[in-house]
A and B are shown apart, each in its own frame.
Chain A
Amino acid sequence: MRKRKTKITFLDITLLILLLAAAIYVLHRIKVGLQYNWDWVSIPQYLIRYDEGSERWVTNILMQGLFTTIRLSFWSTVLATFIGTVIGLCRLSKGLFSRLIGRTYVELIRNLPPLVLIFIFYFFLTDQIMTSIGVDEFVKSRSENVQAFLTFFFASPPLFSAFLSALITLALFEGAYIAEIVRSGIQSIERGQWEASHALGLSWWQQMRYVVLPQATQRILPPLGGQFISTIKDSAIVSIISIQELTFQGMELMSATYLTFEVWITVTALYFILTMALSLSVERLEIYMRRSEG
C-alpha cells in the first residue's frame, strides 16, 4: 500500500468555502423560514432513560426501535445470503428446471416495487402461512427461558409472528439481488480456472468449493457489502406493516410529541451510525482478504 501525498490547492479551498457558505445559508433559512420551536432537550430521554422503579438506566423507544432494526437486518441478511447463494447457483445450473426457478424468482422480485411486495407478502402469504403453522401458539407455549431467548434475538412473543413475516419478506426481497451478485461473481471467474481444475480431476462440486467460490467471494464482497447496507436501509419500509423498528417508532413518537424535526434528525443519525459502521467493517474485510491472498 503506497501512501498518497495530499496536496491542498487553491481550488479546493474555494470549493470548501462555497460549500460551507451554502450550508450556513440553508441552516439560516431553516431557522428563519421555518416556524418551529426547537426542543432538543426532550430527545435524549427517548433514547435512554433512568427507571426509578428498578433504579437502572434502560433503553427507551428509539433505542428499542434501533435494536429491532439491527435484529431484523441481521437475520434477513443471513437468510437472504442463503437464498441468494442457492438461487445464484440455480441460475448457473445445467438443469432447465433449476434455471427456470432461479430466473422466475429473480425477475419477479426485481421487477416489482418493494412497497407492493411487502404488502402482498404480509397480508396474503406470510400471514396465512404463519397462522396455519401456528407460530404464535408455538412461541406462547415455550418455557420462560426460551421466550426470553427469542425476545432477545428476535422479538417479544406478541410481536413474534409479525416480526417473522417482515424478516422473511425482507430476506426474499434482498435475496433476489444477492442471487444476481453471486451469479455474476461466479460467471466472472475465467474459463481457464474451471478447465484447469477439471483437468486435475475435481468434481463439479469440488471445482466450485475449492477453486471458483474462493475467488468469486473476493470479487463479490464489495457489491455484497453494498447490498447488506441496503438491507438496513430497506428495513425502514417494513414500518408500513407496523413492525416496531426505528422508523415506525420514530413516527409514533412524532405523532405523540409533535417533535417532528428533532425525531427525524435523530433517526437519521442512528441509521447513519449503523450503516457507516457496517460500511467500514466491509472495507476492513476487503483489505484483510486482499492481504491474506498475498
Chain B
Amino acid sequence: MMEIRRLCLKSMLLVSLLIGMAGPVFAGKIQQQLVKESALEVVLKRGALRVGMSTFVPWAMRDKTGKLIGFEIDVATRLANDLGVKVEFVPTKWDGIIPALLSGKFDVIIGGMGIRPDRNLKVNFSIPYDYTGMSLVAHKVLAADFRSLKDFNRPDVFIAARLGSTAVAAAKKFMPRAQLRMFDDESQAYQELLNGRVHAVVGSAPMPRFQAIKYPEKLFLPLKTDFTREPIGFAIRKGDFDTLNTLNNWIRVVEAEGWLRERKVYWFETKDWEDMLR
C-alpha cells in the first residue's frame, strides 16, 4: 500500500515538474499561435475580407442591379482595398448577426453596429468610426399634439422599432411607459406607423427624417433633433488584438484624411443616391 502511494507521489511530482519546465516554452508558442490565428492573418491568407452586414438604409442596401451600396459598403470596400484583399459581403439577419460572427461566418461586422456594453460582453469593438443618433417620426393624427418625449411616455402610446437594434434600448430608456412593438425589419415598423397602428417609430437617423419627407401628409417629426448619440464601431471576435489594433488605426487614418466625413455627408445628408435604388 505504502509502495503504491509513494509511486503516485513521485509520478505527480515528475508531472508537475515537467509542466513547470514547459511553461516558458508554451508562452512563446502561444504568442505565435495567436498571431497565426488572428482574423487578420486568416484574411490575408484567404485574400478576402468577409464582412457581415444587414440591409439598413442608407447604411447598406441593394441598388436596382442587385449590387450592394451604402455608407458601410464604402467603408468595408475601402478597408479591404487598404488591406490589399478582396471584399466579400455576407448579408445576415440583424438579430442573428452576433452569433454568426462568433461562429465564424465572417471576420468582422461592418453594419452600423452601436457600441453598447451588453454587446461588448460578447464581441470586441473598434474605436468609433461614426456616430449616429436615434430619432423619432410620428403619425400626424394619432400623435397630433405630441411635442416632446414626455408626451410619448404614456401607457396608451405604441412605439415601433426594429428587433435587436439600439432603437429598442433607446425607446425603453426614454419612454419606459409606452408600449413597444418590435419588428424584424424597419420597413415593417414604418408600415405599421403608416397604417396608424402605432404612434411613432424610433430608428437610427436619418431614416425617420427620410420617411417624414416621403409621406408629408401622414408623418411628422415631433423632435427637432436626435435624442441619443451613439458611437458606431466594427465588431470582431474576442481575444483578437492584432485585428483590433489594425482596425483602430485604419479608422484613425481615414478619419484624418477626411474621407469618412465626406462619405457620411454623401449618404446621410444628400439624397443623390436615391436614383440608384429604384
Contacts and interface: CB of A to CB of B under 8 A. Distances in A.
Interface of A: 33-36, 39, 42, 45-46, 49, 51, 60-61, 64, 123, 127, 131, 140, 158-159, 162, 239-242, 244, 248, 251-258, 260
B231 interface: no
Contacts of B46: 140
Given A244-B91, A255-B57, A64 B66 contact: yes
B137 to A, nearest CB: 13
Task: Classify the secondary structure of A's interface with B.
Answer: helix
B57 A162 contact: no
B104 A34 contact: no
Nearest to B188: A260
A256 B90 contact: no
Contact of A255 (B55, B66, B100): B55
A258 B187 contact: yes
Given A255-B56, A255-B187, A61 B278 contact: no
A35 B186 contact: no
A39 B277 CA distance: 13
B96 A240 contact: yes
Contacts of A252: 55, 62, 91
B105 interface: yes
Interface of B: 46, 48, 50, 54-57, 61-62, 64-66, 88, 90-93, 96, 99-100, 103-105, 184-188, 190-191, 194-196, 218, 277-278
Nearest to B211: A258
B91 A242 contact: yes
Contact of B50 (A60, A127, A131, A158): A158
A123 B218 contact: no
Given A158-B88, A242-B93, A255-B186, 5 more contacts: A35-B196, A64-B66, A252-B55, A255-B56, A260-B187
Contact of A162 (B62, B105, B184, B187): B105
B96 A257 contact: no
Given A242-B93, A256-B61, A251 B48 contact: no
A49 B65 contact: yes
18 contacts: A33-B195, A35-B194, A35-B195, A61-B66, A64-B66, A127-B104, A158-B90, A159-B90, A241-B96, A242-B93, A248-B91, A252-B55, A255-B186, A255-B187, A256-B55, A256-B277, A257-B278, A260-B187
A257 B277 contact: yes
A159 B90 CA distance: 8
B142 to A, nearest CB: 12
B64 A49 contact: yes
Contacts of B218: 35
Nearest to B88: A158
A64 B56 CA distance: 21
B104 A131 contact: yes
A123 to B, nearest CB: 5
A159 B92 CA distance: 12
A207 B196 CA distance: 67
Contacts of B90: 158-159, 162, 242
Contacts of B186: 255
A260 B187 CA distance: 7
A123 B277 contact: no
Given A251-B184, A255-B56, A255-B57, A61 B62 contact: yes
A16 B57 CA distance: 45
Q: Which of B66, B93, B187, B278 has the most CB of A within 10 A?
A: B66
A240 B96 CA distance: 8
Contacts of A39: 278
A248 B96 CA distance: 13
Given A60-B65, A162-B105, A240 B55 contact: no
Contacts of B100: 242
A224 B44 CA distance: 48
Given A42-B278, A123-B99, A254 B187 contact: yes
A256 B62 CA distance: 6
Contacts of A258: 57, 187, 190-191
Contact of A253 (B62, B88, B196): B62
Nearest to B185: A255
Contact of B194 (A36, A140, A251, A253): A36
A164 B46 CA distance: 20
B108 to A, nearest CB: 15
Nearest to B66: A61
Nearest to A37: B215
Contact of A60 (B48, B66, B96, B187): B66
Contacts of A42: 278
Contacts of A35: 194-196, 218
A34 B64 CA distance: 26
Nearest to B89: A158
Given A34-B195, A35-B194, A45 B64 contact: yes
